[in-house]
Amino acid sequence: MSWNSRLIPKPPPFTRLFFGYRYKVSSKPKVKIKPEPHLPFCYKSPEEQQFFVEIYIKKMAEETELFIRDGQNDTVLWESSLRSGDFSLSRNVSNIPSGAAFLKKHKTELCSRMGQISSILLNLRVEDVINSDEEEEVQAENTKQKKNQFLLDLVEKKGHRAQEKLYQILQKKDPFLVDDLDSS
């Protein structure tokens, strides 16, 4: 906040990023992005300052597309849109990513209303959020509400990345539930 910066949560990359590789952040239309030209992807302990990308847009267009490209072959690994509404809304949002904030806010409702648990579990396994033992533990619960509660607790313990993945899966598998909860 002291730098007058905003965190605007966006979905993760399509594929995994690898340590030691270099990645390039670009945009359409062209905006000022630092550092340039490439950002190294490497592990830093939580105590060390993490790498970041500064994106400066003096006059915000209605929509700006952002990309992360492989530094060697220019393959697009991630893309997202930054909209002027994202920026204005972000002033009142905490630094919790959108998936974590959604799950925390609607946990009680999700426990009772979340369906398609088998499909959700399968998707979480495919995304490496849970393993087969954890999937069996969730399925072993004897009611839908207990399964949902166990899953939500499990994902919450795994952190923001896992919560964001669950949120994205819910958006795909049960968009009407997500929309209903968002509008309430």
Domains of the chain: residue spans and CATH: 22-90 (no CATH), 98-183 (1.10.533.10)
Q: Which is nearest to 152 in space by CA: 106, 95, 93, 116?
A: 106
Q: How does the average pLDDT of the chain come out, rounded?
A: 79
Q: Answer whether 183's CB lies under 8 Å from 142's CB.
A: no
pLDDT at residue number 81: 81
Distances (CA, A) of 47 to 15, 43, 50, 156: 27, 11, 9, 23
Query: For residue 130, what pLDDT is reported?
Result: 94
Q: Which of 165, 51, 57, 163 is nearest to 103 (CA)?
A: 163
10-residue mean pLDDT profile of the chain (184 residues): values are 61 74 79 66 61 66 80 84 62 56 90 92 93 94 94 91 91 89 82
| The pLDDT value given to residue 167 | 93
Which pLDDT belongs to residue 106?
92
pLDDT value of position 154: 94
Facing residues of 28 across strands?
65
Residue-level pLDDT at 39: 61
- The model's pLDDT over 131-142, given as tens digits with 9 standing for 90+, comes to 999 999 999 999
